[in-house]
A and B are shown apart, each in its own frame.
Chain A
């Protein structure tokens, strides 16, 4: 493992040379400046991590929606501590492979940060496969949120969400989904059940692009898809958005779309139409929203010197707030919805309160699929 890290550092240094040689049309942009020792002291680290290596173990593949934010934040984060960031991708078994690698790294005496899915970890903890994201590990915060959209293909007969509900009275609406029991499946099934949409599912799709193509080819009626990385499909009109999870998406005219949660959201309107208990509906919508909004979290496994945790949390927050990081994040074209440890914890607790309901709904839907 140490060799892997050295190899990565070696390759990174070659790329750095290439980067220095590269002509840039954005030459007017100032080079990222080192924050210096002041930032480190402000975080209360007292130079304890200066000159050390911080290992970021990413529980998904290179280039993924977890990997890219981590690789952008990591160097800024390490600079503030006078340390060095190295990255390893350890995907598999719904985050468990990555978590096991972090534990092994801790045993080797390294300072290690695990980048993983908050919703997946919560589900994993409920099944006893992963530690609890709040009590079983040291949560540092959220490095990227998730913006979910319901969409249909450009040639679909559904112009609006109301068309979907109208059709659902005549025949089941068909959704394309990932494998059952995962966090994405749980979210989609939970949304359907909360909306009283007696949908049916086509499972087995491996990645978001496959699901997008299923909608474009009109093999399925509706897909629920994370916006990150799929923006061009909406920009080009290949996918037509029908609903956002909780609004706040300015691009592609999505602000005008109905939102799932909230007092004026689709859930409440449907609850009124179906005669459901409004408080129950609101609580379910809030839980699903919170579950989805946990996003990509960063956590330190138990075993790392606990006195370092406040320092790491403060450094992460300082990194989020720094103009250098914000500028790099903006350059990626992907908004970095970063949150402090406390705010992320609050989201997790909100989701946890209704997790059993979500799990029950998802398990029931999965059981129907296997019949």
Chain B
């Protein structure tokens, strides 16, 4: 452990020394800037950087790529809160309470909460990584398809927790979401499903254009027809009631919630292939569950609904590095790119990296850490101008956002079908909103349905072949117990007739 702390300290000194600190800061700012341009994100930036960094030394490459991995995260949170548009799939859960807060004129509070939860969540993830390094390899092997499946099931129970009003409507929306997630190839047999002979649907429904429709377009159509002049209902920024300080300090008012969410994020990050989407939903679900006991207003602008997914989302980043370092198993596209770069620079993941080259690991980890803090601080610094978006008159805001939505949908893959999908889901979302159908169950089921199906198929097959015994997997059993507990508590609350804590009118 002493050598780990020494390496962590050495890595910290390297990253925060002059002029090295310029690399993560510059790369983060660049990443934040290009994230504003449709069609370019952190991944594209990483791909572009590969040939440019071929002759850099390893430490500076680690500085750069660590920052790229963390740089784009918070921008997604900003748009989630201000406009109800999740910048990335992993930010979707933040919209559920972040956007209602913006509508109440509390955008600053929500942004402050998101910034502090992100920065502190990232810090938590880094320290857990340091503590777990000696145990990492053994830990990762314990997570197989059965555990992935149990975790996704826990994520799906969020639907029961957040669905209010008509249970039937919630279940129907979730069912539609599940069906949509099955569009494309069956992962086990490669048979095409629900594609109606179109090439476009063969790879499934692409999530970014769908989000643009279901969130951005829906919210703008709602704003255009609601009679409200602005998102917040206020026409002058001075009248906004939110406070950045209040938001930033909210993490300390809900320490256990922050801790639980950060643990969820870190654990989910460690599991390769599950990703931040599950982390956000599971964290949101457990926050909503616990808030019910104390009469929360989830879905109507509860600050805990912002804290939980944001803390989990950033805590997962350090966790996601663990399988990449320990085995060379990337958890997602970002870590896959990182692995490519590591290989190019002769850095082999595994035992050697986690013992003899631990200093290099920490250069990357601290760079990621710094990047997460830089994004949060820049977010805080720009909170004033950002919050002004919520007082822009709808006559200006709606057409601008609709144009950007259309451009963004097209820029995703350069396909007109994506634009059509955005418009279709925008119309669907608007209809759902007007008729009291929550979009949350649909989104959760859509995002988790594909992962659920994949791991259900693999788990059943392995169980059938006798390669695993699903009923004797303690971690999976624990996760399923947590899912069952969530449902049980929800049922008990409903049976006692407690007034619903979550929103009647979810976003």
* A residues whose Cβ falls under 8 Å from a Cβ of B: 1, 3-4, 7-8, 11-12, 14-16, 18-19, 22-26, 29, 61-64, 67-68, 71-72, 75, 87, 89-90, 92-93, 96-97, 100-101, 104, 174, 179-182, 185, 200, 202-207, 209-210, 212-213, 216-220, 229-233, 235-236, 238, 328, 331-334, 366, 369-370
A209 in contact with B272 (CB, 8 Å): yes
Asked whether A7 and B57 contact (CB < 8 A) given A217-B141, A219-B468, A369-B188, the answer is no
- Measured between C-beta atoms, what is the minimum distance from A11 to chain B in Å? 5
- Measured between C-beta atoms, what is the minimum distance from B401 to chain A in Å? 19
Q: How many residues of B contact A (CB 8 A)?
A: 69
Q: How far is the CA of A8 from the CA of B38 in the complex (A)?
A: 11
Cβ of B461 < 8 Å from any Cβ of A?
yes
**Which of B26, B47, B187 is most buried by chain A, counting CB atoms within 10 A of its CB?**
B47
**Which of A7, A182, A219, A334 is most buried by chain B, counting CB atoms within 10 A of its CB?**
A219
A11 in contact with B45 (CB, 8 Å): yes
- Measured between C-beta atoms, what is the minimum distance from B258 to chain A in Å? 31
Residues of chain B lying within 8 A (CB to CB) of residue A213: 140-141, 144, 272, 327, 329
A63 in contact with B411 (CB, 8 Å): no
Q: Which of B381-418 contact A (CB under 8 A)?
A: 411, 413-414
Q: Which 8 A-B pairs have the closest CB atoms?
A: A62-B47, A236-B350, A63-B337, A25-B57, A370-B189, A19-B52, A232-B328, A204-B187
Contact of B50 among A14, A63, A205, A231 (CB under 8 A): A63
A97 in contact with B413 (CB, 8 Å): yes
Cβ of B424 < 8 Å from any Cβ of A?
no
- Measured between C-beta atoms, what is the minimum distance from B152 to chain A in Å? 14
- Measured between C-beta atoms, what is the minimum distance from A363 to chain B in Å? 10
Residues of chain B lying within 8 A (CB to CB) of residue A87: 47-48
**Which of A204, A231, A233 is most buried by chain B, counting CB atoms within 10 A of its CB?**
A204
Residues of chain A lying within 8 A (CB to CB) of residue B202: 92-93, 96
- Closest-by-CB residue of A relative to B57 is A25
Question: 0/1 per residue, B337-351, Cβ < 8 Å to A?
Answer: 101100111101111
Asked whether A62 and B52 contact (CB < 8 A) given A7-B40, A204-B454, A204-B458, the answer is no
Residues of chain B lying within 8 A (CB to CB) of residue A333: 343-346
Cβ of B54 < 8 Å from any Cβ of A?
yes
Q: How far is the CA of A4 from the CA of B38 in the complex (A)?
A: 8
Residues of chain A lying within 8 A (CB to CB) of residue B337: 62-63
Given contacts A7-B34, A219-B467, 15 further A-B contacts (CB under 8 A): A14-B30, A15-B52, A18-B26, A72-B54, A90-B414, A92-B413, A96-B202, A179-B189, A202-B467, A203-B188, A232-B348, A233-B350, A333-B344, A366-B190, A369-B188
Residues of chain B lying within 8 A (CB to CB) of residue A93: 199, 202-203
A334 in contact with B343 (CB, 8 Å): yes
Q: How far is the CA of A8 from the CA of B49 in the complex (A)?
A: 11
B51 in contact with A71 (CB, 8 Å): yes
Cβ of B46 < 8 Å from any Cβ of A?
yes
Q: How far is the CA of A29 from the CA of B202 in the complex (A)?
A: 47
- Closest-by-CB residue of A relative to B145 is A219
- Closest-by-CB residue of A relative to B58 is A25
- Measured between C-beta atoms, what is the minimum distance from A136 to chain B in Å? 17
Residues of chain A lying within 8 A (CB to CB) of residue B199: 93, 96-97, 100
Q: How far is the CA of A136 from the CA of B327 in the complex (A)?
A: 41
Q: How far is the CA of A22 from the CA of B53 in the complex (A)?
A: 8
Q: How far is the CA of A235 from the CA of B461 in the complex (A)?
A: 30
B272 in contact with A229 (CB, 8 Å): no
- Closest-by-CB residue of B relative to A88 is B414
Residues of chain A lying within 8 A (CB to CB) of residue B40: 4, 7-8, 11
Residues of chain A lying within 8 A (CB to CB) of residue B329: 209-210, 212-213
A68 in contact with B52 (CB, 8 Å): no
Cβ of B260 < 8 Å from any Cβ of A?
no
B457 in contact with A219 (CB, 8 Å): no
- Measured between C-beta atoms, what is the minimum distance from B50 to chain A in Å? 6
- Measured between C-beta atoms, what is the minimum distance from A80 to chain B in Å? 16
- Measured between C-beta atoms, what is the minimum distance from B452 to chain A in Å? 12
